[in-house]
Structure 1
């Protein structure tokens, strides 16, 4: 897992061949004005813009998840937004089977920590990062970029 500010994004370009393209999309668009929805931006990038009310910790932890085929770059546009996190290797209580179509695996496990993103900050969540998002008492706008591994 990585947490940083968008101004430092170039430091992470070398971690995956599509990261530079993902962060260039973020730099070239007025993020606050992007409409909610899903766009297949390229073969290796899917952009999801999501706005809505935050959830309680309990509501979000019902979706404590990780992915096998994608890396998430999640960007806070309006928030703050709190995340729950735990190393996948420490998750021992699966919540159902892996959904290959949606590339998601859920867990009943409790997180090891929580962290907060504010506008202009992002997190990169790799397949080894179990996470739950959208924890907030207010409105959130975020962009999720699914980066195909």
Structure 2
């Protein structure tokens, strides 16, 4: 898992070319004009424009992906995202190839607050739980960009 401000990560010299080019796409593309839903950008690249109200942690769920990296990019609002290694989680629902997701259950040990302009990259070993209230319930608008490994 990697988290930071988009502008800072774009300038980083230590990230792979695939991650670097995806961050540049996030920076240069105007995602704010898209309606909520799934949008194709290329053969191995698509994104969800998600709009929702943050919830209590008990109403959220753990997931991890095997085929696609997740780039969570906050456009509006604030949310907390819980993160953990999949080895510390219990499998609740086995891997679903169609959804590219394994669902887990487990305690929350680490929470990261995401603000507008923040990006979090979730790797296959990162179980993550998005949409958690950060302070008070609020509307979040964000991009979840999916890049095939």
TM over 0.5: same fold?
Answer: yes
Query: Is 2:23 the partner of 1:26?
Result: no
| 1:122 alignment counterpart | 119
1:102 alignment partner, SS class: coil
Question: How high is the TM-score relative to the length of structure 1?
Answer: 0.89
1:32 to partner: Cα distance: 3.3
Query: Is 2:105 the partner of 1:108?
Result: yes
| 1:53 alignment counterpart | 53
From the two aligned structures, give the one with the greater strand fraction: 2
Give the direction of change, closer, same or farther, for the CA distance of 1:12–1:103 in structure 2 (3 Å limit). farther
- Structure 1 residue runs without a partner (length 5+): none
1:98 alignment partner, SS class: strand
The number of aligned residues is 145
| 2:80 alignment counterpart | 82
- Give the conservation status (yes or no) of the 8 Å contact 1:3–1:123: yes
Deviations 1:18-64 (A, max 9, x none): 3344223322233433321211211121111111211211111xx20
Cα RMSD between the aligned structures? 1.7
